[in-house]
Structure 1
Amino acid sequence: MKGVFSAPGDYIYFKSQVPLHKIPIGTKQWRYYDFGPKVVPPLICLPGTAGTADVYYKQIMSLSMKVGYRVISVDIPRVWSHHEWIQAFEKFLDAIDIHHVHLYGTSLGGFLAQLFAQHRPRRVKSLVLSNSFLETRNFAASMPWAPIVGWAPSFLLKRYVLTGIRDGPHEPFIADSVDFVVSQVETLSKDDLASRLTLTTDDASVGPLLLSDALITIIDTNDYCATPQQLKDQVSEKYPGARRAYLKSGGDFPFLSRPDEVNLHLQVLNLGQDLVRGVSEDTSGGGGNSSEQNDGNDGDGDDAPKDDTGINHPESPDSSQPPPAPESPDSHHSSDSQLLSNAKVGTTDAENLTFLCAISEKQQYIIASNILQHFAWEFCTLYLLCRQAGTLYINWESCWKFRKVAV
Structure 2
Amino acid sequence: MKQVKLKKISLYIILLLLIVISTLYIIPVQKKEFSELYNDNSEIQASLLHFREYPKTKLKIEGIDWEYLSIGNGKRYLLFLHGMGGAYDIWWQQIEHLKKDFNIISITLPEIHSLTEVTNGIVTILNKEKIDTVTVIGSSMGGYIAQYFMSTYPNKIYKVVLGNTFPPNDIFKTKNAKLRKLVPFFPEWLVMSKFKENVTTTVIPASENSKLVEAYLIEQYSGLMSKNQFIGRFDIVLEYFDVQRNTIDKTIPILIIESENDPLVPVTLREKLKSTYPEATVFSFKDKGHFPYLNRPKEYNSILYNFLNSTLQTKQEKE
> Taking structure 1 as the reference length, what is the TM-score of the superposition?
0.61
Structure 2 unmatched runs, 5+? 1-33, 40-44, 315-319
* Cα gap change, 1:206 to 1:174, in 2 (>3 Å): farther
**Distance in structure 1 (CA, Å) of the matches to 2:204 and 2:297:** 20
Report if the CA contact (8 A) 2:84-2:234 is conserved. Answer: yes
Matched, 1:174 2:206: no
**Distance in structure 2 (CA, Å) of the matches to 1:72 and 1:99:** 13
Structure 1 unmatched runs, 5+? 274-346, 352-407
Matched, 1:229 2:267: yes
Give, in angstroms, the shift of residue 51 of structure 1: 0.8
Decide which moves more: 109-118 or 145-154: 145-154
Q: What is the one-letter code of the residue matched to 2:146?
A: A
- Runs ≥4 in structure 1, deviation > 6 angstroms? none
**Distance in structure 2 (CA, Å) of the matches to 1:175 and 1:80:** 31
> In the alignment, which residue of structure 1 is the partner of 2:5?
none
Matched, 1:188 2:225: yes
Report if the CA contact (8 A) 1:49-1:161 is conserved. Answer: no
Secondary structure at the residue paired with 1:227? coil
Matched, 1:145 2:182: no
Decide which moves more: 209-218 or 92-101: 209-218
> In the alignment, which residue of structure 1 is the partner of 2:297?
259
> In the alignment, which residue of structure 1 is the partner of 2:46?
9
* Cα gap change, 1:19 to 1:213, in 2 (>3 Å): same
Q: How many residues align?
A: 271
**Distance in structure 2 (CA, Å) of the matches to 1:167 and 1:135:** 22
Matched, 1:86 2:119: yes
Secondary structure at the residue paired with 1:142? helix
Give, in angstroms, the shift of residue 125 of structure 1: 0.8
Matched, 1:243 2:281: yes
**Distance in structure 1 (CA, Å) of the matches to 2:35 and 2:94:** 27
**Distance in structure 2 (CA, Å) of the matches to 1:225 and 1:270:** 27
Give, in angstroms, the shift of residue 150 of structure 1: 4.0
**Distance in structure 1 (CA, Å) of the matches to 2:35 and 2:47:** 21
**1:7-34 residue CA offsets vs partner (Å, 9 max, x unmatched):** 7122123234x22322222312112122
Report if the CA contact (8 A) 2:85-2:220 is conserved. Answer: yes
Question: 1:43 is matched with which residue: 63, 75, 78?
Answer: 78
**Distance in structure 1 (CA, Å) of the matches to 2:92 and 2:196:** 21
**1:308-335 residue CA offsets vs partner (Å, 9 max, x unmatched):** xxxxxxxxxxxxxxxxxxxxxxxxxxxx
Secondary structure at the residue paired with 1:145? helix
Matched, 1:199 2:236: yes
**1:126-170 residue CA offsets vs partner (Å, 9 max, x unmatched):** 110011111242122222132454444323432454455325546
Answer with 1 or 2: which has the greater Rg: 1
**Distance in structure 2 (CA, Å) of the matches to 1:254 and 1:193:** 22
Give, in angstroms, the shift of residue 52 of structure 1: 0.7
Q: What is the one-letter code of the residue matched to 2:187?
A: P
Give, in angstroms, the shift of residue 246 of structure 1: 1.4
Secondary structure at the residue paired with 1:24? strand
**Distance in structure 2 (CA, Å) of the matches to 1:216 and 1:149:** 35
* Cα gap change, 1:271 to 1:191, in 2 (>3 Å): farther
Give, in angstroms, the shift of residue 46 of structure 1: 0.5
Matched, 1:104 2:140: no
**Distance in structure 2 (CA, Å) of the matches to 1:149 and 1:263:** 36
> In the alignment, which residue of structure 2 is the partner of 1:208?
245
* Cα gap change, 1:95 to 1:149, in 2 (>3 Å): farther
* Cα gap change, 1:162 to 1:230, in 2 (>3 Å): farther
Report if the CA contact (8 A) 2:206-2:261 is conserved. Answer: no
Matched, 1:157 2:194: no
Matched, 1:69 2:102: yes
* Cα gap change, 1:151 to 1:129, in 2 (>3 Å): same
Give, in angstroms, the shift of residue 85 of structure 1: 2.1
Secondary structure at the residue paired with 2:220? helix
Report if the CA contact (8 A) 2:204-2:213 is conserved. Answer: no
Secondary structure at the residue paired with 1:74? strand
**Distance in structure 2 (CA, Å) of the matches to 1:168 and 1:188:** 19
Report if the CA contact (8 A) 1:63-1:69 is conserved. Answer: yes
Q: What is the one-letter code of the residue matched to 2:189?
A: F
Report if the CA contact (8 A) 1:134-1:205 is conserved. Answer: no
> In the alignment, which residue of structure 1 is the partner of 2:128?
95
